[in-house]
């Protein structure tokens, strides 16, 4: 019998991609923010008890990093308390939990890829609340998989890719930070890797998502590393070389021409954000590969595929 899977955050970047892929594995009951408000504990309990899933996938989160600095209460409710409650509810009904976390649990002081054994030391409110969410899940005792990813983007939603494309229609010069190092990860690659892990577990056990031998935290980000500055330059290079018939690209730039001529490298200090961000947040994905044989492509390949896949889809629609 097909398992029942409860998905939260169905309209988010990762959630929307999961919504496309999860039906391969079971019957999906998916909630958006308007149907399940994770800042409301009674909503969480009611929904889990109604659906009685075998697997809960929590793709919802409070991801507005700057806003979290002044709205800690909501960020804490959604990123810390809600995952803890989902975990407790899952445990009560014998379900397992998949949850996503972030490279921002680290302080960025290390200069080599962070692995799962490295101590977290978040330096902003978003990172602190996400780490508290991880801890709440661990201490609930539920069987779980926490996937930490980084610098997530997609061809929809709020993200760096779409911001750069919009700015490139408005300004001749873009000033972008070049002293933060990370790995931009496409939401569709996070969703695809999650499905591979779950398929692998399902096949291994044949009768359900048994997480007991693999329960824990895994890094799940694009391979390679870059800076926001280099990422912006690469986006503009690819956008310039791509047909403007691309539906999402045309939407992102609202049909306006790209006018950006230059990308100027600036420091975090010059940018002047009041929110601290880790200067280095590369994650080592070896554990994910060792346990599940799953790896994500290099960030460059992911970005290229993002343009090409959408390009193919647009061309298919056009013919
Ligand atoms: N985005 C990144 O750069 C990044 C980096 C590292 C890790 N992650 C992690 O990856 C996971 C997926 O992130 P994402 O990029 O897909 O985020 P996203 O695009 O911002 O999606 C998050 C979803 O959560 C929903 N949400 C927010 N508050 C909620 C609430 N109170 N109740 C129910 N739903 C609520 C949002 O709905 P509304 O928009 O309607 O509020 C949105 O649909 C998250 O755990 C995130 O922390 C993200």
pLDDT by residue (tens digit) across 51-66? Answer: 999 999 999 999 999 9
C-beta of 157 in contact with ligand 1 (< 6 A): yes
C-beta of 137 in contact with ligand 1 (< 6 A): no
pLDDT tens digits, one per residue of 204-252: 666 678 888 999 999 999 999 999 999 999 999 988 876 555 677 777 8
**Mutation probe of ligand 1 site: the residue of 11, 18, 33, 104 with most atoms within 8 A of C-beta:** 33
C-beta of 307 in contact with ligand 1 (< 6 A): no
From 100, 114, 126, 153, the catalytic residue: 126
Confidence category of residue 131, pLDDT binned at 50, 70, 90: very high
Query: What's this model's pTM, rounded to 2 decimal places?
Result: 0.95
Report the range of poorest mean pLDDT among 133-142, 229-238, 253-262: 253-262
pLDDT at residue number 207: 66
What angle do the packed helices 13-21 and 187-205 form, to 10 degrees? 40
pLDDT at residue number 314: 45
Q: What is the mean pLDDT of residues 123-144?
A: 98
């Amino acid at each position: 019998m097909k398992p029942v899977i409860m998905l939260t955050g169905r309209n988010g970047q990762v959630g929307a991609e999961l919504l496309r892929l999860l039906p391969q594995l079971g019957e999906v009951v998916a909630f958006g923010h308007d149907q399940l408000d994770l800042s409301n504990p009674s909503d969480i309990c009611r929904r889990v008890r109604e659906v009685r899933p075998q697997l809960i996938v929590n793709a919802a989160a409070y991801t507005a990093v700057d806003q979290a600095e002044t709205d800690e209460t909501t960020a804490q409710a959604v990123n810390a308390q809600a995952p803890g409650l989902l975990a407790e509810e899952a445990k009560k009904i014998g379900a397992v939990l998949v949850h996503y976390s972030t490279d921002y649990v680290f302080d960025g002081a290390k200069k080599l890829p962070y692995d799962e054994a490295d101590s977290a030391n978040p330096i902003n409110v978003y990172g602190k609340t996400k780490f508290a969410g991880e801890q709440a899940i661990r201490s609930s005792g539920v069987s779980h998989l926490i996937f930490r990813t980084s610098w997530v983007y997609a061809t929809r939603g709020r993200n760096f890719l779409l911001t750069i494309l919009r700015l490139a229609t408005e300004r001749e010069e873009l000033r972008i930070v070049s002293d933060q190092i990370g790995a931009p990860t496409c939401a569709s690659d996070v969703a695809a890797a999650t499905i591979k892990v779950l398929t692998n577990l399902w096949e291994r056990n044949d009768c359900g998502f048994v997480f007991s031998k693999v329960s824990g935290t895994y890094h799940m980000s694009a391979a390679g590393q870059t800076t926001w500055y280099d990422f912006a330059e690469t986006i503009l290079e690819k956008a310039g070389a791509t047909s403007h018939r691309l539906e999402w690209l045309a939407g992102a730039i609202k049909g306006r021409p790209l006018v950006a001529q230059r990308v100027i490298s600036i420091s975090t200090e010059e940018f002047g954000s009041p929110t601290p961000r880790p200067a280095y947040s590369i994650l080592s994905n070896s554990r994910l590969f060792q346990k599940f044989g799953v790896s994500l492509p290099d960030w460059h390949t992911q970005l290229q595929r993002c343009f090409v896949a959408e390009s193919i889809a647009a061309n298919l629609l056009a013919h």
